[in-house]
Amino acid sequence: MQTLLATASRLQQLHCAACHAPHSAFSLQRVSSCCAQPLVADYDLSAPLTRAAGIQATENSMWRYAALLPLLDEANRVSLGEGWTPMLALPRLAARYGFLDLRLKDEGQNPTGSFKARGLSMAISKAKELGVTGCIIPTAGNAGVAMAAYCARAGLRAVVVMPRHTPQAFREECYWYGAEVHLVDGLINDCAARVRELNAAGELLDVSTLKEPYRLEGKKTMGYELAEQLGWRLPDVLLYPAGGGTGLIGIWKALREMQALGWLPATAQLPRMVAVQAANCCPLVETREGRQVNCQAYMGKPTIANGLAVPRPLGEPLMLDVLDESDGLALAITDEQMLEGLRELGKEEGLFVAPEGAAVWMAARHLLRTGWIRPEEQVLLLNTGSAQKYLENIVGLA
């Protein structure tokens, strides 16, 4: 696989999330060589870059922020039009429950039907740029679909490993994109073990959550977008469904980058971040509340929110940092509560969101009722996908 020479780019280096040791951003990387932890991209944020100069206003996708993304050559961009998703007011639910300003950013309108399109567009673009010929991923559903689509777009081999209980719609879509699909009994951690077996020779790039540096960079564009769409003012509270946590970490990274660039005031009040998990699989909640040291031995169960069934997320320390820095919290929502949220968002606002999106709505309701969210605060919900692919999980339960 080829090694790239540094070009005129704001990308400077990668650093280990644990010890901050530098790693080259111009050759193929996976996790850090020092601590086997995620690698995070660093940019030159000291040179002047105005919002007008840094945003390609005519590009209605996440690539409008290309100046702050790691791709070195635009010819390697692998895109299906991901990003620049709508932010919708929820006036009927706000009035019913007493929110002054309640909004939802609908990532279900991305290509392949979920926010995973952002991360996989970026990861596959960098894989192409670095000479990779094939990728492999353990997935709860949406990430595997997105990887299969972007590998097809790039002409790369795609191998997807998902739980056998994953709704058939996810499996079928992977097949239509030409991916090789393996089904495993268990959750995504069991799929990760199977990935290690299948890829023992290292011929494929493992694009598991945070096991390569660039899915994070695609996901961070949600942070740039929400700031721009809100007129460079930030919500008071942002609720996000956190399985692997890349989006939560990425949004926070984007907010910090915008402060460093001067796009947001250095003194700007950043949102309190809420990580929402499923009661059947809530390792971050258990760690955050002190019932376990970390998630490494956590055993989760399946949930109708497939994307939240991540029992041992590699990014747990980074998620905890975001919650600490933002004075945020983590909480768990039951499958029954998610179904209630699905019904409300559908009947009151015409939105057919993924169960993960319903979970963040129910978390907002709970936090308003307990007083952690105040009625006058602006609240932003992140819906990460469309419910269409989850019908097998939810039909007959509504």
Residue 395 — very low, low, confident or very high, per pLDDT cuts 50/70/90? Answer: confident
Q: What is the pLDDT of residues 103-120, one digit of tens each?
A: 999 999 999 999 999 999
What's the rounded mean pLDDT across residues 296-312? 96
- How far from 100 is each of 218, 279, 302, CA to CA, in Å? 31, 28, 35
User: Is a pLDDT exceeding 90 seen at residue 5?
Assistant: no
Q: What are the chain's domains?
A: 87-112+216-394 (3.40.50.1100)
pLDDT above 50: residue 330: yes
- Name the more confident of 395 and 105: 105
What does the pLDDT read at residue 197? 97
pLDDT tens by residue, 48-107 = 999 999 999 999 999 999 999 999 999 999 999 999 999 999 999 999 999 999 999 999
What is the C-alpha separation between 398 and 387, in angstroms, rounded?
13
Cβ(11)–Cβ(130) below 8 Å:
no
| Short-list 48, 143, 212, 84, CA closest to 356 | 143
What pLDDT is attached to residue 92? Answer: 98
pLDDT average, residue stretch 129-139: 97
Can you tell me the distance from the alpha carbon of 143 to that of 120, in angstroms, rounded to the nearest whole number? Answer: 7
Q: What is the mean pLDDT of residues 159-171?
A: 94
Q: How many residues are recorded in the chain? A: 398
Closest CA to 364 of 87, 91, 53, 97: 97
- Residue 398 — very low, low, confident or very high, per pLDDT cuts 50/70/90? low
Within 283-354, residue ranges assigned H as helices are 283-288, 316-325, 335-349
Give residue-wise pLDDT tens across range 256-282: 999 999 999 999 999 999 999 999 999
The maximal CA–CA distance of the chain, rounded, in angstroms, is 57
The structure's pTM equals 0.95
Please give the average per-residue pLDDT across 336-360, as a whole number.
98
Residue 193 is inside which H or E element, if any? helix 188-198
- State the Cα–Cα distance between residues 298 and 184, nearest whole angstrom: 19
Residue 33's pLDDT is: 98
